[in-house]
């Protein structure tokens, strides 16, 4: 069963999502704003939670002649850090056309033992050609999610830091015999930096 806003808010008070925004934020106030500055929404929705992209780090895959991306022997040189850009109101990373990038969630998760969390893309980015990979956070997983984005468009695209970037859906199942923590999963307790592929 998919969990609703009441359950998500209750579990967030117990530490499931931190920091937690109990409303769906579409505008933020700044000292000079009268009506608020529009943002890509984040926070609690009816049956999910929109997490934000951290400004801490964003990396883009670059072609380096003679190298192959191998998930069993991941070469960090295939990922290039990209700078955080700022203008009057916003902080953002640029994901070049037809490229792939990795970011990290601002929020830290502590997934309950009978819940699987699915990340899905937000329609605002999907309409710009940005595809967020569907990735699960398994029962009893903890940490900051590494987020994967593909720019399928023929133009560069901004991805805004500290604004909504993907939605989390919380699916309840019967308790499992072995959860992510008891199996000592390799991505447990990820910090707020991009975590590379591990075997």
Q: Identify the CA nearest to 160 among candidates 28, 72, 21.
A: 28
Question: Can you tell me the distance from the alpha carbon of 95 to that of 59, in angstroms, rounded to the nearest whole number?
Answer: 9
Catalytic site residue from 110, 148, 172, 192: 148
Helix (H, G, I), strand (E, B) or coil at 55: strand
Parallel, antiparallel or unpaired: strands 37-45 and 91-95? unpaired
* 115 half-sphere exposure, CB direction, 13 A CA radius: 21
Is residue 148 annotated as part of the catalytic site, yes or no? yes
Q: Cβ neighbours of residue 73 under 8 Å, at least 6 residues apart? A: none
Question: Can you tell me the distance from the alpha carbon of 199 to that of 196, in angstroms, rounded to the nearest whole number?
Answer: 10
Beginning with the edge strand found earlier in the chain, give each strand of the sheet holding 91-95 in spatial order.
85-86, 91-95, 157-160
Parallel, antiparallel or unpaired: strands 17-18 and 142-143? unpaired
Other CB atoms closer than 10 Å to residue 168's CB: what's the count?
Answer: 21
The radius of gyration of the chain from alpha carbons, rounded to an integer in Å, stands at 17
Catalytic residue ranges: 148
């Amino acid at each position: 069963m998919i969990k609703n806003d009441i359950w998500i808010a209750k579990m967030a008070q117990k530490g499931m999502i931190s920091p937690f925004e109990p409303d769906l934020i579409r505008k933020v106030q700044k000292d000079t704003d009268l009506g608020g500055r529009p943002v890509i929404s984040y926070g609690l929705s009816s049956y999910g939670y929109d997490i934000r992209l951290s400004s801490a780090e964003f990396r883009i895959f670059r072609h380096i002649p003679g190298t192959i991306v191998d998930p069993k022997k991941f070469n960090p040189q295939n990922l290039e850090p990209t700078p955080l850009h700022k203008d009057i109101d916003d902080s953002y990373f640029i994901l070049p056309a037809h490229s792939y990038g990795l970011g990290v969630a601002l929020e830290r998760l502590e997934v309950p033992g009978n819940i699987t969390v699915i990340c899905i893309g937000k329609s605002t980015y999907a309409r710009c050609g940005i595809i967020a990979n569907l990735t699960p956070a398994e029962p009893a997983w903890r940490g900051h999610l590494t987020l994967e984005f593909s720019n399928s468009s023929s133009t560069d695209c901004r991805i805004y830091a500290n604004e909504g970037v993907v939605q989390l859906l919380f699916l309840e199942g019967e308790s499992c015999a072995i959860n992510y923590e008891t199996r000592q999963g390799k991505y447990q307790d990820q910090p707020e930096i991009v975590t590379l592929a591990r075997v």
